[in-house]
Amino acid sequence: MKIDEGVRLDRYTTIGTGGPAAALAQPVSLDELHEALAWAHERSLAVATIGLGSNLLVADEGVGAVVLKLAGELASAHTERELLVAGGGAANAVCLHRARAAGLGGFEFACAIPGTVGGGVWMNAGAYGSDWAAILVRALVVDEDGARWLTPAELGLRYRHSELRHGQVVARGEFRLEPRPAEEIKATVADLQRQRKAAQPTNKRTYGSVFKNPDHELSAGRMLEACGLKGYRIGGAQISPRHANFIENADGARTEDALGLMAEARRRANEQFGVVLEHEVVFLGDLELPPL
């Protein structure tokens, strides 16, 4: 198996920031995944899995862990009757393509989510009224103690949340879909992508929604817009002029810049609305927001 030490992770995150991992392992099968977990265990290193890095903020100083990026059969997808069976590292775009080719609908909402099956389980990813919890039958979760199939309830899936912890790897997922003509799927996807383009900075380097929507009449984006933060910049990172709940890598951004923007956004939302925003993006490495 390919294990590289000291690989920088900025190439593996959609925002394009982040320092090196202690090691990057790319297992292509369940056997190699067990091997990678044992390799980390022997060296007393923590383990974290990344998908397409589309919801990740990695410390500029790097991560003292073995980072796993699933490949080969752990990143492929196929259909079996009305089931979509996918590796944890399979890109949502690949899954959607397989589902459409088989005339299976239900995964269309994920066309707006540029991640993988495993990243979706971690966060119960969702959009346009659906989410992983609505279609996932079970996920194969592997850690150094072995492998277990878990249902959405056992995974604790709820709004942008699961009970998964680093060290637990989603190696496979099975989704229940339903027959739908490929042409209809194509039309729905085109429509959802049009809606996305109109509302979000889809052509910029971001990590998707920065904060979860609070329990408030305003969404996080509207709240930060009302705080006057659109276009606000620190270093190479800026709050998107198009949608205030996105941070863009405007020019050579560092994670430190994005973190500074998040701290300022939380401070202002708290000051103006009495709301404590909770971040949706996952932190990897020694990263922390200052207390309010």
Ligand X SMILES: Cc1cc2nc3c(=O)[nH]c(=O)nc-3n(C[C@H](O)[C@H](O)[C@H](O)COP(=O)(O)OP(=O)(O)OC[C@H]3O[C@@H](n4cnc5c(N)ncnc54)[C@H](O)[C@@H]3O)c2cc1C
Q: In the complex, which residues of this chain contact ligand X (CB under 6 A)?
A: 14, 48-56, 70, 88-89, 112-116, 118-120, 122-123, 125-127, 164, 166, 169-170, 202, 206-208, 282
Q: In what side-by-side order are the strands of the sheet with 247-249? A: 233-234, 237-239, 247-249
C-beta closer to ligand X: residue 103 or 161: 161
We find the least distance from the C-beta atom of residue 164 to ligand X, in angstroms, to be 6
The answer to whether residue 8 is catalytic is no
Place of tokens 């939380």: 266
Instruction: Judge whether 11 and 17 are in contact, CB under 8 Å.
Output: no
We find the least distance from the C-beta atom of residue 54 to ligand X, in angstroms, to be 3
209, 240, 248, 254: the active-site residue: 209
Cα-only R_g, the chain: 19
In sequence order, which ranges of the chain are alpha helices (DSSP H)?
Answer: 30-42, 92-101, 117-123, 132-135, 152-155, 182-199, 220-226, 255-273
We find the least distance from the C-beta atom of residue 271 to ligand X, in angstroms, to be 27
We find the least distance from the C-beta atom of residue 186 to ligand X, in angstroms, to be 19
Selection from 23, 44, 26, 46 nearest residue 35 by Cα = 26
Instruction: Judge whether 173 and 136 are in contact, CB under 8 Å.
Output: yes
We find the least distance from the C-beta atom of residue 179 to ligand X, in angstroms, to be 25
We find the least distance from the C-beta atom of residue 193 to ligand X, in angstroms, to be 11
Helix (H, G, I), strand (E, B) or coil at 206: coil
Distance (Å, whole) CA 136 – CA 114:
18
Q: Which two tokens stand for residue 240?
A: 């998107």
CA 112 from centroid of its chain's CA atoms = 12
Distance (Å, whole) CA 34 – CA 45:
14
**Number of neighbours of residue 22 by Cβ within 10 angstroms:** 17
Instruction: Judge whether 110 and 127 are in contact, CB under 8 Å.
Output: yes
C-beta closer to ligand X: residue 39 or 280: 280
C-beta closer to ligand X: residue 266 or 279: 279
Distance (Å, whole) CA 65 – CA 20:
10
8, 160, 176, 242: the active-site residue: 160
Place of tokens 């190696």: 171
The answer to whether residue 160 is catalytic is yes
C-beta closer to ligand X: residue 194 or 292: 194
C-beta closer to ligand X: residue 27 or 223: 27
> Catalytic positions, please?
160, 209, 280
